Amino acid sequence: MRGGIEKPGRPEKIAITLPQGVSVTEAPAGRSLSELLLAGEIDALIGPRTPSVMTAADPRVGWLVADPRSAAIENYRRTKNFPIMHLIGVRRTLVEQHPWLPSAVLKAFEQAKAVAFAKLADTSAGKVMLPFVDQQLQEAQELMGQDFWPYGVSPNRRCLEYFLHQHHKQGLSDRLVTIAELFHPATFETARI
């Protein structure tokens, strides 16, 4: 079942062909997935953010995995795969006109990330309202390396290949798409910062 996590609605924007034996229905009109979970009308919910019913301390709702953070850390240690959260897209027609554009966009994002990281690492004036951010930053780097959000195709190759494999396996693409066809050749150039 699919729908809005907190607010009813959220129609699918693209048509997908699901594997045999998998069906998806829309949440009932006027009902959110959080409401359905709390009412016991669905057994579980997966989404990009924690639903509000999880913060309500309702004993009827809990994590599927008792300690999700520890499970995610163990999965990373075992697989070295940390799912990519976002991709930046540039229209192919623009890249064909300006082949330097992917490298320039990558360079701009690398520079912005460096500024953001420097601010995050400056503990003399916290940039986020998260206690112990310096310890959490250190723990993340010890586990995942200094650049735990790498940009570019090369440092993300393993994760991209896994994503493309799962995308096809789950019926979201009718064939296995390769990294080479997903990205313009100029994307493989290294940005110099």
Do residue 88 and residue 53 come from a single domain?
no
Maximal C-alpha separation, the chain: 57
- Mean per-residue pLDDT, 172-190: 84
Segments forming the whole domain that contains residue 48: 1-64
Do residue 57 and residue 94 come from a single domain?
no
Per residue in 34-69, is it b (16+ CB within 10 Å) or e — as a string?
bbbbbeeeeeebeeeeebebeeeeeeebeeeeeeee
What 3-state DSSP class applies to 72?
A: helix
Q: What integer pLDDT is reported at residue 77 of this predicted model?
A: 94
Tell me the C-alpha to C-alpha distance, in Å, between residue 9 and each of 27, 38, 67, 74.
8, 17, 30, 35
Please say which residue of 42, 64, 86 terminates a domain: 64
Do residue 176 and residue 84 come from a single domain?
yes
Tens digit of pLDDT for each residue in 139-176? 999 999 999 989 888 889 999 999 999 988 888 888 99
Do residue 110 and residue 174 come from a single domain?
yes
Residue 188 has pLDDT above 80, yes or no: no
Q: What integer pLDDT is reported at residue 190 of this predicted model?
A: 61
Task: Assess if residue 69 is contained within a domain.
Answer: no
Do 49 and 5 touch, CB atoms closer than 8 A?
A: yes
Do residue 86 and residue 170 come from a single domain?
yes
- Give the chain's domain count: 2
Do 151 and 106 touch, CB atoms closer than 8 A?
A: yes
Do residue 175 and residue 102 come from a single domain?
yes
Do residue 91 and residue 51 come from a single domain?
no
Please say which residue of 10, 35, 64 terminates a domain: 64
Task: Assess if residue 71 is contained within a domain.
Answer: no
Task: Assess if residue 16 is contained within a domain.
Answer: yes
Please say which residue of 25, 40, 64 terminates a domain: 64
Do residue 57 and residue 142 come from a single domain?
no
- Mean per-residue pLDDT, 109-120: 92
Do residue 60 and residue 82 come from a single domain?
no
For 84-131, the DSSP string reads --------HHHHHH-TTHHHHHHHHHHHHHHHHHHHHH-TTS-SSS-T
Do residue 81 and residue 138 come from a single domain?
yes
Do residue 58 and residue 92 come from a single domain?
no
Predicted confidence band of residue 191 (pLDDT cuts 50, 70, 90): low
Tens digit of pLDDT for each residue in 86-105? 888 899 899 999 988 988 99
Do residue 182 and residue 105 come from a single domain?
yes
Task: Annotate 6-55 with three-state secondary structure.
Answer: CCCCCCCCCCCCCCCCCCCCECCCCCCHHHHHHCCCCCCCCCCCCCHHHH
CA 189 to chain centre: 24
Q: DSSP letter for 163, please.
A: H
CA distance 176 to 69: 31
Which range has the worst mean pLDDT, 29-38, 49-58, 92-101, 129-138?
49-58
